[in-house]
Structures are given as structure tokens and as C-alpha cells.
Chain A
Amino acid sequence: MNIKIDINPLTRLEGHGQIDVEWGPDGKIQGVHFRVPEFRGFETFCQGRAAEEMSTLTEKICGVCPMAHHMVSAKALDDVFCTKIPVAAEIIRKLVYHAFIYEDHLLHFYFLGGPDFLISSDSGIANRNILGVIQSLGDDVGRQVLNVRKQVRDLVSKIAGSALYPVLALPGGVSRSLDSDVRDQARKVSSLAVEFACQSLRIFKSHVLAGTRFHRLLNDPAFYLPTGYMGMVNASGQIDFYDGLIRIIDVAGRPIHQFAANQVMAVLVERVNALTRIKTIHCREGDLSVGASGSMADVCRVGPLARLNVTDGLPTRLAQAEYEEWVHAFGGKPVHHTLAYHWARLIEALYAAETMVELADNSALTSAIVHTIPQKIKPDGAGACEAPRGALFHLYRVDEHAIIQHVNLIVATQINAAAIGKSIEKAAMAFLSNGDVTDSAINHIEMAYRAYDPCLACATH
């Protein structure tokens, strides 16, 4: 007789998902399925909408990364309306965007992924959450986590209306200029952000990396997955969250593609899957063997691990030093250890904070000219950014009145979905093979997907 368990719902992530594990009569695992049952239909019901509303409409795809959709949409609209945005608008956009990446990475480390490794492994289901983390790290650190996140999000709200629902970016620039009070606030918050990013890295090294349990899991074959990687780079080949070309490297780290947002569908392809509403994303040229082999041959991963694998170093001083330590710890790149996502995420948080400091000091930040009135419309537009979880693309087609005719969204968790499924399968095979379904075993399986910081609502949209 077959035995089946389902882990439903998946927790400490955004969206709805479940994992089914099935054993055959011989006691061996027959199937591990990662299912995402939800679907809202944004690509359909955005048709007919006024193009300029897309940056505030598509951000409703995800309340955890609304800024990513907001910004990518605005960039696609800049393209549709053939506008070059003023320098100050770009600085303001980048400032809120880096602030967003920073606080979102902290959210994952302390609230979503962190409870798996910042507290002792036997603390059980009732403590495996933010309260357990605060208890484990101490009240002071706990309050700092909440306070720093709040200050960064307050800065974003001050500039963009709301961190939960930014309304700042519109075709041709941004909706408002900034005064010196906001600049002062940005400077203060950015320095605080750098300081706390460094502290978070120290916490990671002392509480997580130094512990035998995480170290063992980090190097466990169950959490090792050779794939290709994809990430945005600037003209110097270094990581960029806001703008640049998308670079793909293969499993050995060799660059095989570098392309602009409007070329994405020439390189990637969406694949429909029967068991999940996520359309997974694969490289069109599967025979290039971007990944190692088998089902991963045409799969690239995205997100912090991928971005650090893809980049030629980091542009800021402190983050560069941390990055070098990270590469050295794994004996070179590409790093295929899935749990290394967590470490990479904190290094990126530090990079984002250092970049905030630079942007807050930029003399153009308070310039009054922040919007270019669009003068013409072209039939299509494309935009891309690096969301916290990985590369994000919006592709629009419009009519002559700038009414949306067609929308295609390529979202980070779609790109990661095949690898997430494989990581879950490997963890289930490793931790459930003896048929003993314990809370700890299930938690280990969940660690396999949480490392990616998946957003399932984004992935199905």
C-alpha cells in the first residue's frame, strides 16, 4: 500500500504551496511533488488597463516585494514612453530600491529563514519563529532588528508614500522631488543600515556558521545542487540591482549569455507543468548544458547565491571584503551549496546599505527636476531589475493610446522553481528515506526551499 504525507501549507514564505511525499509498498520514496495551487491571473486582467497604472497595479502581485514590481514596471514604461529619466529621478529610485533590498533581506534572515538555524534545532514548532529568534539572540538584538527595519521602511515611506505600496515611480521619472530633510534622514538611516548589516554578518558567523549543525548541513550533499546562474551586472561586470545586462554562467562558471531586458524571451522559455501553477523558466539552448545534467541541464538559479556567483566582485569596500571571504570559504566559484544563499543574502544587504550611503550623499538627490514628460509611445517595452529573490522582467505591449494589450511577467521564483523542486526532492530523499516522518525531518525539507526565499504568489501571479 502506498503511504502519502502532505506538508500543507508551506510556511514562512510568501504565497501558498505544499509538498507531497509518496512511498511505495517497498518502503521507498516514489515521488516528491512541490505544488503551488494558487493563481490570480494578473497577465490577463492587466489587459485593457491604462499603461501608467501598471507600476501601482502589478506591485499588488506581491506584498513582500512590491517595490521590485513597481520599479521594473516603471522601467518597462520608460521604455514604452521612450523617455530618459532625469538624473535625480534615477538617484531617488535607486535609493528606495536599495533600501528595499536591504530590509527585505533582513526580513528573510530574521523572520522567515532564520528561525531554522538561529535557534536550537530541538526547540520545536512553537518556538521556530521570530519570537524564538529574539529569545535566542537576546532582547537587545531583537529590538534592533525591528528598529532598523522600521527606520529603513519609514525612509522608503517618506519618499515613496508607503513601503507597503510605493507610488513613487511613473513613466519618465518619479512623482516628487526630495528636500534636505529627507536627505538628512537618508544619511542617518543608511549609516545605521551599514552598521546593522555588519552586525548581522557577525551574528551569522558566530551563531550559525560556527555551529556544527549548520556547518554540517551547509556541506551536506542534500543541500548541494550544481546549476547555471543568472544575475544582472553593470558595465564593469559587477552586481547591480537596478540596471544593467543579464549575465548567465554555466555550471562551471563560464559566461554563456549577456543580454538586455528586451531580449529575455530569446534566451529563456516558460514551461507549463501539470502539478503546479508555476510556469518554470528554462534556458532555450538546453544543449549548452548550463546546469550539471538531467533535469537541471537547462536550469539557472537566481537570487543572492546566483548574483555572487555571476558578479566580478562587489562595488563597495566592506561588502567586497565579505564577498572574498565567502568565495574563499567554499574554495572558489561557482558556489553550488544551496544554504550558502543565507550568507550571500547578508553580504548583499551590506552592499545595499553601503550603496544607500553613496546615494544619500549624491548631490543630485535633491534636484527639483525629477520627471520628463513623455512625448511618444512605442508599441512595446521591457524592464528588468534584480528583485531580492532574483531577476525580474516585465514585458508590455500597448496600443496607440497606451492601453495595455499584452503582459508577460518573468519572475524570480519562476526561474528558481525547477531548482527548488529538485532541492526539495533531494532533501526528502535524504531525511525521509527511513520512513520516519518527524518534525525535524520535515523542517529539514523546508530548509531546502526557504534558502531561496521563494515568493509563490509572485511565481504564479
Chain B
Amino acid sequence: MMDRPKIAIYGCASCGGCDESLIDMADGLVDILHRCHVVFWPTALDYRHRDVEELPDKSIDFTFINGAIRDRQDVRMARLLHQKSKKIIAYGACAQMGGVIGLANFHTVLELVSRLYPEPGGDPDATDTLADRVLPLHQIVVVDATIPGCPPQPDRVYSAIVQLLDKALLPPGHVFADTRALCATCSRRDTLPQKPVIDRFYRIYEKPVDPGRCFLDQGVICLGPSTRGGCNGQCLSANMPCRGCMGPLDGDADGGCRSLSFLAAWIRANDMDGIEAAVSSVPDPAGLFYRYCLADSILPGRCRQENT
């Protein structure tokens, strides 16, 4: 067992979905578990923090970290695992770009904590232990590769892990997914509007959605044009639009900004009133376009005054 590659799996501020994705590899998981020595995976194994602390530095071959950096323990564990590992893999949308947990950056820590503890004296430590902002993993440690998605699809995860174990030559910062947008492989691609056609956007419950036609052609917002492909288009197969969990394409510094500008191109109106009508039909633009990527945006969060 000692000759096998050592791997570790850990979740910072997470939901456990990334662990479920590993378990959903089914036979693939058994295969991986036979090929590696898993030295730390709290969801499935009984090893503790002290077991990691006792490992020699750089003795773990690959560590898969999921979840966002939300509190100081996340920072400490990410740094500890980085110290003990040869390679760090950002696993899932939260590790890659903060994920939905990053939406908390619309609020101050004080606002978050006061919702939890409206009564004074509930938890004096809370404001001290939470980091000021949610951060993606790469802002705390060097990330060697990324498996995107919320959560990543089991077949893609298996393929990524096998490539890593087989010592495939990968460029620094490699992302295990498509380089093209989700739109490029969408079964509705033939009906993607080729010119501005949208007078107003519809909310998903407001009209019947034709499962054979592009969402944008029906006025329903879909982030497929600006989102990396590689998720097997599962939401689309259930007749629901993309919400961007695979993150932006290579070279896009700010996924939300890219989605916003992309979508604006389909608005038909040329006059201010028409544009205003189309824009105001989007109910929560910040929450929609930055749903997964706010913590990794070039915008730090909401403009705010502390102590208010």
C-alpha cells in the first residue's frame, strides 16, 4: 500500500456534493481506492486532522480540495494540505470560484452573523472566525489543476483522477473540462438566435418552455454562451437553462461580466425605453450572473459602509 500514490480529499466551506460525486463514480471509486492510498477523507474515512499534521511535508501526491474559503479554519486547512501535498486540485465550483457560498460577499460578516445570532452574546467568536470575504482556493494556495462544476460530473471526475494517477502531462493550471462554451455542444444549438430578438426576458415559471428550442430564442436567460462546457448539459436535458456552474471560459477574467455583456447583445431595442424595459425584466442580475463566481469577480462585493 505504501508504494501507491497517496491522495487526500477535503472540503472547506462546502455542501458534500463533491464527495457524493466521488461516490457516484461507483465502480470507478473502487478502482481509484484500489490504486491509491487515501490518507485523509473525512466524509468516508476516520482519519483526523492530527493524522495529516503528522505526515511529512509534500508526502501526499494529490490533494483534492472542495468548498470555498469561508472561515479561518478553511485557510488553516488549505495551507496545511498545501504544505503536505505535491499537487493541489481545486475540485468543484466553490473551490474554483467561491460557488454559491460567494453570494455571501453581498453582505458584511456582521450582517451574516446578526441573522444567525439576533440576540446579543450568541456567539462572540463568530465575527472573529469568519473571514472578511469568501475566497476561492487559488487566492490562498497555488492550485495546480481544476475540476469544475457544481458538483463535477462523476464520469469527468473519474477521468481526471485517472489522468493524474497516470502522470499525464498537463499544463499548469489545467482545467479538466471543455475549452468551448456549453452552447457549442447543446442539442438546441440550431435555434440559437443569430440576431437580436429579445424584447423582454421571461422568468422560468412565466411561460411554457419548448424543450427543442434554444432558451434565448424563447426569451429565457441561459448562461450557456458564456459558460465552459463539460457538464454533459444535464440541466438543459431537464428543460432548464444553464446557471454557469462550470465557470467562465479561458481568458475571461470575470464570468458574471461576460454573461451580462453577452446577453445584452440579444436585446432588440435601440432606444433607451426599449433597452430599459428589457433590462428591467431581469429580476436579480447580480445574483443571476454572479451566482457561482462572485467571490472570484474583479468586483469585491457590494459597495458598503462598515458598521451600518
Tell me the A residues contacting B by CB distance below 8 Å.
Answer: 7-16, 37-41, 43-46, 48-50, 52-53, 56-57, 60-64, 66, 81, 107, 111-112, 125, 128-131, 134, 142-143, 146-147, 149-150, 153, 157, 159-168, 170-172, 175-176, 272, 274, 277, 279, 371, 373-374, 401-403, 443, 446, 455, 457
A63 and B288 contact, CB distance less than 8 A: no
Are B122 and A272 in contact, with the CB atoms below 8 A? yes
Task: Pick from B171-179, B181-189, B205-213 the stretch touching chain A.
Answer: B205-213
Query: CA separation between A165 and B208, bound complex, in Å?
Result: 22
Hey, which chain B residues are within 8 Å of A53, CB to CB? 284, 287-288, 291
Partner of A164 from the list B20, B26, B43, B126 (CB cut-off 8 Å) is B20
Question: B6 on the interface (CB 8 Å rule)?
Answer: no
| Bound CA–CA A150/B154 (angstroms) | 11
Decide if A457 touches B44 in the complex (CB within 8 Å).
Answer: no
Chain B residues with Cβ below 8 Å from A52 are: 203-205
User: In the complex, which residues of chain A have a beta carbon less than 8 angstroms from the beta carbon of B208?
Assistant: 371, 373
Q: Is the CB of B234 within 8 A of A9?
A: no
Alpha-carbon separation in the docked complex, A11 to B119 (Å): 31
B24/A164 in contact, CB under 8 A: yes
Structural contact, B116 and A39, CB atoms closer than 8 A: yes
The reply to whether the CB of B130 lies closer than 8 angstroms to some CB of chain A is yes
Q: Inside 8 A of B126's CB, which chain A residues have their CB?
A: 39, 277
Is B46 positioned at the interface, with any CB of A under 8 Å from its CB? Answer: yes
Contact between B111 and A44 (Cβ–Cβ < 8 Å)? yes
Closest to B70 in A: A40
Known A-B contacts: A9-B42, A37-B73, A46-B103. Give 18 more (CB < 8 A).
Answer: A14-B19, A16-B11, A41-B116, A44-B111, A45-B104, A63-B19, A64-B19, A130-B29, A149-B26, A153-B24, A161-B238, A164-B151, A171-B205, A175-B238, A274-B122, A277-B126, A374-B205, A457-B15
Interface string of B233-268 (1 = CB under 8 A from A): 011111110010100000000000000000000000
Which of A147, A150, A172 has most chain B Cβ within 10 Å? Answer: A150
Q: How far is the CA of A161 from the CA of B240 in the complex (A)?
A: 8
CA distance A348 to B305 in the complex (A): 51
Contact B46 A172 (CB under 8 A): no
Contact residues of A: prevailing secondary structure: loop
Pick the contact of A162: B49, B122, B235 (CB < 8 A). B235
Alpha-carbon separation in the docked complex, A170 to B48 (Å) = 41
Contacts A111-B44, A373-B205, A373-B207 given; does A165 touch B287 at CB 8 Å: no
Q: Which of A7, A44, A57, A274 has the most CB of B within 10 A?
A: A44
Do the beta carbons of A41 and B239 come within 8 Å of each other?
no
- Could you tell me if A12 and B44 are in contact, using CB atoms closer than 8 angstroms? yes
Q: Judge whether B71 and A38 touch: CB under 8 Å.
A: yes
Interface pair A45/B288, CB less than 8 Å apart = no
Residues of B within 8 A of A (CB): 11, 13-21, 23-24, 26-27, 29-30, 33, 42-49, 70-71, 73, 99-101, 103-104, 106-107, 111-113, 115-117, 119, 121-123, 126, 129-130, 150-151, 153, 203-209, 211, 234-240, 243, 245, 283-284, 286-288, 291
Q: Whose C-beta in chain A lies nearest to the C-beta of B103? A: A45
Question: 29 A-B contacts, Cβ less than 8 Å apart?
Answer: A8-B49, A37-B73, A41-B115, A44-B107, A45-B107, A49-B287, A50-B287, A52-B203, A52-B204, A60-B150, A63-B16, A64-B20, A112-B44, A125-B47, A129-B46, A131-B33, A147-B26, A150-B26, A161-B236, A164-B153, A167-B238, A170-B240, A172-B205, A175-B209, A272-B122, A272-B123, A277-B126, A373-B207, A401-B283
A233–B5 alpha-carbon span in the complex (Å): 50
User: How far is A173 from B165 in the complex, measured between Cα atoms in Å?
Assistant: 44
Is B16 within 8 A of A50, CB to CB? Answer: no
Assembly CA distance A166 to B51 (angstroms): 36
Which residue from chain B places its CB closest to the CB of A37 in the assembled complex?
A: B73
* Cβ contact within 8 Å between A111 and B150: no
**Cβ–Cβ contact A161 & B234, under 8 A:** yes
Question: Least Cβ distance of A121 to chain B in Å?
Answer: 13
In angstroms, how far is the closest chain A Cβ from the Cβ of B159? 16
Chain A positions within 8 Å of B23 at CB level: 107, 111
- C-alpha gap A89/B205 in the complex (Å): 14
CA distance A446 to B46 in the complex (A): 10
* Docked complex Cα distance between A84 and B91 (Å): 40
Per the bound structure, the CA–CA distance linking A150 and B129 in Å amounts to 39
Closest to B208 in A: A371
Q: Which residues of A contact B43 (CB under 8 A)?
A: 11-14
